[in-house]
Structure 1
Amino acid sequence: MSTTAQATAMRPPAAINKLIFRRIMPLLIAAYVMAFLDRTNIGMAKDRLEIDLGISATAYGIGAGLFFLTYALSEVPSNLIMHKVGARFWIMRIMITWGLISAAMAFVQGEWSFYLLRMLLGIAEAGLFPGVMYFLTQWFTVQDRAKANGMFLLGVSIANIVGAPLGGLLLTMDGVGGLHGWQWMFIIEGLPACALAFVVWKFLPNRPTEAKFLTRAEAEDLEARIAAEEQAGAAAAGNSKLRHVLKDKQILLVVGVYFTHQIAVYALSFFLPSIIGTYGELNSIQIGLLTSVPWIFSAAGALLLPRLATNATRSRTIATCTMVGIVAGFTLGAVGGPVLGLLGFCLAAFNFFALQPILFTYPATRLSGAALAGGIAFVNTVGLFGGFLGPYVMGALEEATGNKLSGLWFIVGMCVIGALLTLRLKRGSEDPSKAAVGGH
């Protein structure tokens, strides 16, 4: 085939979609595996930090949550910078800085250095998740975007499936080279992000027209179809500028649901190992293995449910059902004891990443261009304050009551509110008068 013929050749959209999934998703998933591992591995170190450094449960909860305050405040600027400089360079920068700071957690001396490094880690990693959510809007149409988002969020599940047993194993290195096991955990889990950053730089194209695995005609057609969808959605919703996000009730609804969702996700991420530690005489490896079980279910949920959210009605129904599932799971975790409690956490985790990828399809049906980049970051920014509130309340209630499960009822109450909010969700081009019967 001639060069001209190759440039104008067009494969079916389904074949192009599969090719894009195969070429860019593994790299993005690997990046998020490391990101989530490095932000949540303190869950495995919680009890050791208390013993070795005297960091209380409340101080631990504050430090765990401070990550999200600086992360959230840096999100919108980070995403707007990525919109200008491109995903490839910006994701590489994010990964190098967070890898170095995560490894530096090994040198924490007490509460204040713990707080400082957690805040710096939040600044360093800010923009990765909303940046990738925005990046995926440049590669997938609305119909396929929830599936793509769900695949990316597999990184969270994989990080917890692998990270908890790995963290438990690394904790057994106590005394090697004069370091505590938790110090080795931070170093060994932090530095690989720096190496992966250069792989991202080499192999991740910024947009379809820069991808060597697509013909020029395929790339231009895909970009044109996505641009048309964004413009139609933004026009229907009346949103063309970033300031319009603050006036859009649907975007604010998404923020509210996501806020309650993040309270649940990070409460489980940071406190599940210590909760499981109350189930009996378990060593760090056994705790790590049991901690990974709910996250296997979360991976199943991320794979099975988001791909069903192909229109507005299905998206709303799945969003409501998953929030109800999270409520049921945490309730069972609070009252069920070791066996039923762990099953309850599995139920909650199954629904975590079935919901999140669906929520992030809504901004792209109501915004476009820089407003879309900033809008996605805004949703993540405000939502992530839940990542501060959940661990803080869990730690404070544990210290006040002496019961590691007491904070779970706060999670249940917040998620009930989130479930009620999902009932009002609508897509950008959805006719409100037809919301009960169908979507686009």
Structure 2
Amino acid sequence: MGKSKWLRIIPVAFVMYMLAYIDRINVGILMPYIQEDLNINASAAGDIAGIFFVGYLIFQIPGGILAAKWSAKKTIFILMLLWGICATAAGFVETEGQLKAARFALGVAEGGVWPAVLVLLANWFTTKERARANAFWMACLPVSAMLMSPLSGILLKYFEWETILFIQGLPPIIWAFVWYAIVKDQPSEANWMKKEERKNLLAELATEQNKKVQSEGYMAAFKNKTVWGLVIMYFLWMTGFYGYTLWVPSVVGTLTKDPVMLGWLTAIPFTCALIGMLLNSYWSDKRMNRVQHVAIPLLIAATSMVVGQFVSSPALQMILLSITAIGVYAPYGPLWAIPTAIIPAGVVGAALGLQNAIGNLGGYNGPKFFGVLKDMTGNYHAGFYFLAASLVLSAVMTLILGRFITSKNESKSILTNAKRNQIS
């Protein structure tokens, strides 16, 4: 369907969300220095890291509605400016309370971006292209961690953590204007597309729109038990995911006190995560199996977390941290194919919104309770056991939800065979 949209839309969206993800990576790298400077314990550190996700919940649904009814391009442009301002403001804080307030506001500003980008991609990419578009876009998550961990470590050698927060808040403000200049809401607005390419794309999108099932709204999603199963599964995964992501730099910090080396070592697990994420998504598509490619990586991650508490060799610890990173990131591709396979078409849009909005509260739950357990025990062991348990429960919930996929496929097969028998 033409390469121009892939070259224009995806790279700009990739950089945009990579810059958003900085705010979930840099706080982990900077946390030991924040704790020392503000004289706070691990529980308070977990609050600072996790309160972002409480704010993140607030603008999830309004952001999607605004993008759909007004303009995804303009909604994201405004939110980029707002989150850049909030991120730079964090560089001027002097107390724990002020830093929490800045992180909360940052979460509110970034919360509307994810649903707005999904609306934008739906305007540009057909159903058969959308999975690849989402996969290319979401690859920015581990890439951001790969790049920003070493960068934050290098900056720590020359600047205080407040200055680094200010510096890393500037790129979104700059990139917002690049976004506004390049991205268009609809193919009909893109004068850089060839006429024939634009015409074919608009025709295919219009055909899909005519076949689209009318949404039954959020109340129907709220009443659907399977939707809540998805929400719980995602919440448990995000608990383990962000608990690991935000605390792994502190664990690596026990291996080295050099901030530059800390940054480079922290990048290793996330580099492995990118490779694992892409390979798992490719294999999942090839086998057309989603459940196993979500549940098995989660169980592998949980196992490596537990085993890691019984090894003392720095090399083995890094290997196990990397295996864990692969396990917690790998489900990203296949997981988002599960809701459409088990939820009625009229409910799936609202279901995805609820899954992402409420499930992301696990981003508060993981870092917070990891920090609480660190304060209670004086080490990281109990925290990793807690995260591992969350990942195991998420895997179990995935397997339970997978039974609905089987039931749905069996029902389709029965109906198809019945029709064939009638014809014959």
User: CA separation of 1:226/1:433 partners in 2, compared to 1, >3 Å: closer, same or farther?
Assistant: closer
User: In the alignment, what sits opposite 2:163?
Assistant: 184
User: In the alignment, what sits opposite 2:244?
Assistant: 268
User: In the alignment, what sits opposite 1:221?
Assistant: 203
Q: 1:111 Cα deviation (Å)?
A: 1.4
Q: 1:100 Cα deviation (Å)?
A: 1.1
Q: 1:83 Cα deviation (Å)?
A: 1.4
User: CA separation of 1:437/1:321 partners in 2, compared to 1, >3 Å: closer, same or farther?
Assistant: farther
Residue 199 of structure 1 pairs with residue 181 of structure 2: no
User: CA separation of 1:145/1:301 partners in 2, compared to 1, >3 Å: closer, same or farther?
Assistant: farther
Is 1:130–1:376's contact at 8 Å kept on the other side of the alignment?
Answer: no
User: CA separation of 1:115/1:152 partners in 2, compared to 1, >3 Å: closer, same or farther?
Assistant: same
Is 1:258–1:359's contact at 8 Å kept on the other side of the alignment?
Answer: no
Q: 1:266 Cα deviation (Å)?
A: 1.1
Residue 76 of structure 1 pairs with residue 58 of structure 2: no
For 1:394, the aligned partner's letter is F
Quote the Cα distance in structure 1 between the aligned partners of 2:283 and 2:207.
21
Quote the Cα distance in structure 2 between the aligned partners of 1:133 and 1:349.
25
The C-alpha deviation readout for 1:80-112, integer Å capped at 9, x for no partner, is 112112210011111111111111111121111
Residue 137 of structure 1 pairs with residue 122 of structure 2: yes
> Which of 241, 247, 251 in structure 1 is aligned with 2:227?
251
Q: 1:189 Cα deviation (Å)?
A: 0.8
Residue 165 of structure 1 pairs with residue 150 of structure 2: yes
The C-alpha deviation readout for 1:150-209, integer Å capped at 9, x for no partner, is 2212211111111111111111124xxxxxx21221111111101101111111122334
Quote the Cα distance in structure 2 between the aligned partners of 1:419 and 1:437.
27
The C-alpha deviation readout for 1:209-256, integer Å capped at 9, x for no partner, is 43342634222233135436642xx7xxxx622221123333323222
> Which of 289, 292, 303 in structure 2 is aligned with 1:314?
289
Is 1:131–1:373's contact at 8 Å kept on the other side of the alignment?
Answer: no
Residue 39 of structure 1 pairs with residue 24 of structure 2: yes
> Which of 378, 381, 388 in structure 2 is aligned with 1:405?
381
Is 2:52–2:106's contact at 8 Å kept on the other side of the alignment?
Answer: yes
> Which of 290, 296, 299 in structure 2 is aligned with 1:324?
299
> Which of 112, 115, 133 in structure 2 is aligned with 1:148?
133
Calculate the TM-score normalised by the size of structure 1: 0.85
User: In the alignment, what sits opposite 2:280?
Assistant: 305
User: In the alignment, what sits opposite 2:370?
Assistant: 394
The C-alpha deviation readout for 1:363-405, integer Å capped at 9, x for no partner, is 5565779x66544332111111100000001111111111033
Quote the Cα distance in structure 2 between the aligned partners of 1:36 and 1:109.
24
User: CA separation of 1:306/1:143 partners in 2, compared to 1, >3 Å: closer, same or farther?
Assistant: farther
User: In the alignment, what sits opposite 1:9?
Assistant: none
User: CA separation of 1:367/1:194 partners in 2, compared to 1, >3 Å: closer, same or farther?
Assistant: farther
What SS does the corresponding residue of 1:406 show, helix, strand or coil?
helix
For 2:324, the aligned partner's letter is A
User: CA separation of 1:298/1:113 partners in 2, compared to 1, >3 Å: closer, same or farther?
Assistant: same
User: CA separation of 1:133/1:368 partners in 2, compared to 1, >3 Å: closer, same or farther?
Assistant: farther
Is 1:362–1:427's contact at 8 Å kept on the other side of the alignment?
Answer: no
Is 2:370–2:384's contact at 8 Å kept on the other side of the alignment?
Answer: yes
What SS does the corresponding residue of 1:173 show, helix, strand or coil?
coil
User: In the alignment, what sits opposite 2:331?
Assistant: 355
User: CA separation of 1:362/1:198 partners in 2, compared to 1, >3 Å: closer, same or farther?
Assistant: farther
Is 1:260–1:415's contact at 8 Å kept on the other side of the alignment?
Answer: yes
What SS does the corresponding residue of 1:278 show, helix, strand or coil?
coil
Q: 1:148 Cα deviation (Å)?
A: 2.4
User: In the alignment, what sits opposite 1:291?
Assistant: 266
Structure 2 residues without counterparts, runs of 5 or longer: 417-424
Quote the Cα distance in structure 1 between the aligned partners of 2:209 and 2:295.
29
Identical columns (%): 27
For 2:81, the aligned partner's letter is I
For 2:296, the aligned partner's letter is C
User: CA separation of 1:404/1:426 partners in 2, compared to 1, >3 Å: closer, same or farther?
Assistant: closer
Is 1:318–1:355's contact at 8 Å kept on the other side of the alignment?
Answer: yes
Q: 1:356 Cα deviation (Å)?
A: 2.1
> How many equivalent residue pairs?
410
User: In the alignment, what sits opposite 1:29?
Assistant: 14
Residue 116 of structure 1 pairs with residue 101 of structure 2: yes
User: CA separation of 1:333/1:27 partners in 2, compared to 1, >3 Å: closer, same or farther?
Assistant: farther
User: CA separation of 1:430/1:352 partners in 2, compared to 1, >3 Å: closer, same or farther?
Assistant: same
The C-alpha deviation readout for 1:51-95, integer Å capped at 9, x for no partner, is 222122111101111110111132112211121122100111111
Residue 20 of structure 1 pairs with residue 1 of structure 2: no
For 2:295, the aligned partner's letter is T
Quote the Cα distance in structure 2 between the aligned partners of 1:125 and 1:425.
30
For the aligned residues, what is the CA RMSD? 2.8
For 1:324, the aligned partner's letter is L
Structure holding more helix per residue? 2
The more displaced of 415-424 and 319-328 is: 319-328
For 2:326, the aligned partner's letter is F
What SS does the corresponding residue of 2:124 show, helix, strand or coil?
coil
